[in-house]
Every structure is written in structure tokens, then in C-alpha cells.
């Protein structure tokens, strides 16, 4: 029987606040993976979760991450939902020599020697989604987003991709995180009559917008999902209960949808958030197995010559890209690409110019 060494693992998820549904999905994936690792007699390690809850307050993430890394033996932290919170944490993990495992889709253009990204970046969600929708529905777009880096960058990239394809952006509107004031957006849509809408809102803002858009579609056939769909790169099954009937016809891109075989290879996860968080913990366990003290190694050493799902150069993962539509309350795949490497700076793209800076903090 293998003698297991105990390794503390930080969890940094907000269980209340605007994005608590996503947090709970990620937390479920982490705890499920911890249980599997701890029960596996072939592994010489077990994880001991060290949890902190920022309560949806972006300013609390950095101090709580520091508390984990300073006051416990944990060197690896799985957590953060928004890019705002992730960027608050990165200076802390860099200062203490820790690693953040980030399991949520994000806007790219970031690299750190102390972060692993196990969900998708724009070449694995936004760009394939736009390349699918424009030939199918048209090139006249309306862009929405929450007023922070995710919304700003997603819409910036979308604008560049759409205009490069000869399309037009008819509107670009943002809301503070948590705001439900979507009336102006709806009126602008009523007037502009785009071919599709990119929804980069999060939490209650997104729920309110989707409900209002469904009502608009019942009034005006132009805004039915089959004619003018709403696109998303962050809405998954974990938020469908909050959306209800307003989710019908939503088109989303992601690496996994419930019941779809493939990445992360086994298991029936509730959403891609849960799957990516599960994958993060399982990959960490694989990297640490049989390497006493490896939890204290720098990430570059940990990833060297070990193979696996994480690219040692970019710290991103190779993922399938799936486009799916909500039909009857569930996502149904409509297009799929296999094994797309994460390309955070879009160096393989000729249509979007990547910046030369490598700044994360």
C-alpha cells in the first residue's frame, strides 16, 4: 500500500455574489477531483483543501491568497472567476512563489510563470464562434459586456475580427458588474437590428439582458434566436437555471458541454467550468505524483519533461472547441474542432494583431 503524503491545496472561490453559480461549479470540480485523488491507492499523495471565500469582493482576493500562501504550506491555489480577481492575485502568487490554477474562460493576452490556464482563451472560444456566425447569420454585430477587462477585451477582439471580415459593429455597450439596467441596450437593439449579439455580460446583468431580449423577440420576429442569435463564450449549464426560457436559442462556445464525449476524457460534468477545475486538480496530482517535495518547485521545473495537458511555454491547454445551441433547456453541439492549442497572444492568427507586451500585473 502506498503511503500518501499530505499536500495542502488552496481554494479561492466566492460562494456568494454576482458570479456565485460559476464559483460553485468550479468548486464542485475541485472537490470532486480531490476526492478522486485521495481515494486512488496508486497515488502517493492526498490533497488537503484550504479554502478562503472572497464573497464576490475583488479587493479581497489578493489578501486571502496571501493568507493561504503565507500561513499554510499550500503553494498551489485553484480559484478566481473574473479576470479582475485573477489580476489581483497574480502579484501575490509571484511574490510568494506560488501557482494559480485558473479554470474559467478568459480574454487572453496574458502570461505568467505562476499561472496555469485550464479553460479556453479567444482562439478556443471567441474567434471560432465569430467565424461560425458571420457566414451563417451576417456580419452586422451588437456587442455587450460587463465593464471590466473581460468585456473590454472580448469586444475589442470581436470588433477587429468582424471588421476584418468586412462586417460592422452597430453598438458597443457596457454595464457595471451586477447592474440590471439593460433597458438602453434593448432600445438600441430595437433600432439597430443587427444580425447577431455578442453577450460578454456576467451574472445578474447577463440574466436580465437575456430575459429582456427574449421579450423583445416575442414582440418582433427579427429578434428571434433563429434570426438574430445571442452568442456567449462564458455562459454554461451552471447558469441555465438562472436563465430559464430566456436561454433558448443561445449559442455558446466552449471546450465541453454536458453529455458530450471528449475532454477531459471521462466523467459527466455539469459544465465546462466544473470540468476545467477538475482537470486542473487532476493534472496537478499527476505532476506531483512520485516527486516528493515537488509541490514547492517552481512551475517551470514542475512542467519540464513531464508531458500532459499543459503547454510548458504558454501554460495553456490543448482543448476541443465546441459550438452549441440551447434547445429544450440543454446545449446541443452544432460544430466541433478537435485539439486546438491555446494561443493567448494570437501569434498564429493573421487577422488579429497581437500586442508585443507581456504584462499581467
Specify whether 69 is located in the same domain as 208. Answer: no
pLDDT at 354: 41
The pLDDT assigned to 359 comes to 44
Q: Of 170-184, 216-230, 305-319, which range is least confident?
A: 305-319
Question: What is the average pLDDT across 155-184?
Answer: 97
State the CATH number of the domain containing residue 31.
3.40.50.2300
In a domain, 30, yes or no: yes
Structural domain contains residue 353: no
Cα radius of gyration (the chain) = 20
In a domain, 136, yes or no: yes
Whether the per-residue pLDDT at 48 is higher than 60: the answer is: yes
Q: Is there a single domain that holds both residue 192 and residue 332?
A: yes
Would the pLDDT of 357 be above 80?
no
What would the pLDDT profile of 104-146 be if each residue is shown by its tens digit?
999 999 989 999 999 999 999 999 999 999 999 999 999 999 9
Q: Is residue 361 part of a domain?
A: no
Tens-digit pLDDT profile for residues 187-199:
999 999 999 999 9
pTM value?
0.95
Please tell me the total count of domains within the chain: 2
Give me the pLDDT at residue 268, please.
Answer: 83
State which residues form the domain around 148: 123-255+321-341
In a domain? residue 356: no
* Residues 135, 206 within the same domain: yes
Q: Same domain, yes or no, for 150 and 251?
A: yes
99 and 174 share a domain?
no
Same domain? For 184 and 208 the reply is: yes
210-216, Cβ contacts within 8 angstroms, sequence gap of 24 or more: 210/243, 210/246, 210/247, 210/250, 211/243, 211/244, 211/246, 212/182, 212/183, 212/185, 212/186, 213/186, 213/189, 213/246, 214/245, 214/246, 214/248, 216/186, 216/189, 216/190
| Residue 103 is assigned to a structural domain of this protein | yes
Q: Are residues 310 and 331 in the same domain?
A: no
The pLDDT value recorded for residue 265 is 52
Within a domain: 359: no
Q: Span 57-78, mean pLDDT?
A: 97
Mean pLDDT over each residue of the chain, to the nearest integer: 94
Least confident of 244-253, 296-305, 347-356: 347-356
Q: Per-residue pLDDT averaged across 315-324, rounded?
A: 95
Same domain, yes or no, for 75 and 160?
no
Give the pLDDT confidence score for residue 267 in this predicted structure.
65
Tens-digit pLDDT profile for residues 13-44:
999 999 999 999 999 999 999 999 999 999 99
pLDDT at 353: 42
Q: Convert 182-204 into a string of H (helix), E (strand) and C (coil).
A: CHHHHHHHHHHCCCEEEEECCHH
By the 8 A CB rule, do 174 and 144 touch? yes
251 and 128 housed in the same domain: yes
Q: Which pLDDT value is given to residue 1?
A: 66
In a domain, 348, yes or no: no
**Are 282 and 190 within one domain?**
no
Same domain flag for 329 and 199: yes
Mean pLDDT over 338-345 rounds to: 94
Tell which residue, 99, 83, 111, 98, has the closest CA to residue 314: 111
Percentage of the chain lying above the pLDDT 70 cut = 95
At residue 361, does pLDDT exceed 50?
no
44 and 76 both lie in a single domain: yes
Amino acid at each position: 500500500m502506498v503511503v500518501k503524503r499530505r499536500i495542502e491545496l488552496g481554494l479561492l472561490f466566492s460562494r456568494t455574489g454576482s458570479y456565485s453559480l460559476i464559483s460553485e461549479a468550479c468548486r464542485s470540480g475541485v472537490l470532486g477531483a480531490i476526492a478522486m485523488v485521495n481515494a486512488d491507492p496508486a497515488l502517493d499523495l492526498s490533497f488537503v483543501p484550504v479554502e478562503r471565500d472572497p464573497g464576490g469582493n475583488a479587493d479581497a482576493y489578493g489578501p486571502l491568497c496571501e493568507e493561504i500562501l503565507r500561513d499554510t504550506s499550500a503553494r498551489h491555489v485553484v480559484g478566481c472567476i473574473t479576470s479582475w480577481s485573477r489580476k489581483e492575485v497574480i502579484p501575490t502568487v509571484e511574490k510568494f512563489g506560488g501557482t494559480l490554477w485558473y479554470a474559467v474562460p478568459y480574454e487572453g493576452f496574458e502570461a505568467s510563470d505562476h499561472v496555469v490556464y485550464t479553460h479556453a482563451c479567444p482562439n478556443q472560444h471567441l474567434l471560432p464562434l465569430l467565424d461560425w456566425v458571420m457566414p451563417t447569420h451576417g456580419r452586422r454585430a451588437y456587442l455587450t459586456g460587463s465593464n471590466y477587462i473581460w468585456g473590454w477585451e472580448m469586444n475589442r477582439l470581436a470588433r477587429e475580427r468582424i471588421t476584418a471580415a468586412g462586417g460592422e459593429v452597430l453598438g458597443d455597450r457596457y454595464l457595471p458588474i451586477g447592474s440590471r439596467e439593460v433597458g438602453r441596450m434593448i432600445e438600441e437593439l430595437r433600432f439597430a437590428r443587427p444580425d447577431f449579439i455578442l453577450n460578454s455580460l456576467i451574472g445578474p446583468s447577463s440574466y436580465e439582458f437575456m430575459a429582456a431580449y427574449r421579450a423583445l423577440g416575442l414582440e418582433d420576429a427579427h429578434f428571434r434566436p433563429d434570426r438574430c442569435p445571442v452568442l456567449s463564450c462564458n455562459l454554461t449549464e451552471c447558469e441555465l437555471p438562472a436563465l430559464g426560457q430566456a436561454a433558448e436559442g443561445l449559442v455558446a462556445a466552449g471546450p465541453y458541454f454536458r453529455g458530450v464525449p471528449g475532454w477531459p476524457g471521462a466523467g459527466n460534468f455539469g459544465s465546462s467550468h466544473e470540468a476545467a477545475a477538475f482537470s486542473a486538480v487532476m493534472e496537478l496530482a499527476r505532476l506531483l505524483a512520485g516527486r516528493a517535495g515537488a509541490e514547492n518547485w517552481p512551475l517551470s521545473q514542475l512542467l519540464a519533461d513531464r508531458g500532459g495537458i499543459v503547454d510548458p511555454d504558454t501554460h495553456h491547454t490543448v482543448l476541443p472547441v465546441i459550438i452549441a445551441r440551447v434547445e429544450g433547456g440543454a446545449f446541443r453541439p452544432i460544430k466541433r474542432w478537435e485539439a486546438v492549442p491555446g494561443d493567448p497572444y494570437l501569434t498564429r492568427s493573421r487577422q488579429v494583431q497581437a500586442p508585443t507586451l507581456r504584462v499581467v500585473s
